[in-house]
């Protein structure tokens, strides 16, 4: 099988995964908003505070940010220093993009491994949340998955930069 074809399929998989995670991140933002509104109304009208609301909304907000990160990578929605690109010119700007993407990928893989180890540690020790007794391995595993997906998207970006795969787009994405 052609290597370019395999890499193209891997990039399409990364893009589909990224799009799914972006939708999940959007759904989490809506759920966090609803949860906080319920907490505010409950506290204001019934004088009852729901301890789980703050804990779950914190998890949800963090996960939404993390699950949305690969979409920002894919669509160039993150901060870019276009001034530096313009000053360097095309061949050097491309090389800088490859180097920074490679560096980001190395960092993200390290973070993915570390959060995976943390989730495993929490699971093996039975660590739970103080407020709700939620096993912390669950949100930590989802965080690890988010870092893994971001790593996959950066690997796809690296392939796009080095192998000229700009023509691959998933339906529903502008980038």
pLDDT tens series, the chain, 175 aa? 688 888 888 888 989 988 999 999 999 999 999 999 999 999 889 888 887 888 888 889 988 988 888 888 788 766 666 667 677 777 887 888 888 889 999 999 999 999 999 999 999 999 998 878 889 999 899 889 989 988 998 898 888 888 876 544 444 444 4
Residue 172 pLDDT: 43
What does the chain come to in residues? 175
Residue 171 pLDDT: 43
The span from the CA of 165 to the CA of 167, in Å, is 6
Q: What is the DSSP string of 15-49?
A: HHHHHHHHHHHHHHHHHHHHHHHHHHHIIIII---
Residue 172 lies in a domain: no
Residue 34 lies in a domain: yes
Residue 174 pLDDT: 43
Residue 170 pLDDT: 44
Residue 175 lies in a domain: no
Residue 70 lies in a domain: yes
Cβ within 8 Å of residue 124, ≥6 positions away? none
Residue 141 lies in a domain: yes
Residue 14 lies in a domain: yes
Total domains present in the chain: 1
- Domain with 66 in it: 3-163
The single-letter DSSP state of residue 126 is T
Residue 170 lies in a domain: no
Residue 48 lies in a domain: yes
128, β-bridge pairs: 135
């Amino acid at each position: 099988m052609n290597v370019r074809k395999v890499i193209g399929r891997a990039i399409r998989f990364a893009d589909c995964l990224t799009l799914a995670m972006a939708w999940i991140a959007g759904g989490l933002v809506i759920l966090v908003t609803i949860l906080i509104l319920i907490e505010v109304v409950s506290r204001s009208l019934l004088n009852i505070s729901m301890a789980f609301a703050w804990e779950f909304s914190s998890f949800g907000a963090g996960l939404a940010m993390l699950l949305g990160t690969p979409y920002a990578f894919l669509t160039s929605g993150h901060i870019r220093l276009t001034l530096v690109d313009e000053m360097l010119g095309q061949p050097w700007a491309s090389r800088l993009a490859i180097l920074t993407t490679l560096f980001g990928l190395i960092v993200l893989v390290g973070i993915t491994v570390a959060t995976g180890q943390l989730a495993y540690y929490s699971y093996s020790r039975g660590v739970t949340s103080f407020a709700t007794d939620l096993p912390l391995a669950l949100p930590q595993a989802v965080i690890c998955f988010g870092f893994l997906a971001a790593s996959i998207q950066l690997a796809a970006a690296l392939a796009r930069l080095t192998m000229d795969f700009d023509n691959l787009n998933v339906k529903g994405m502008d980038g």
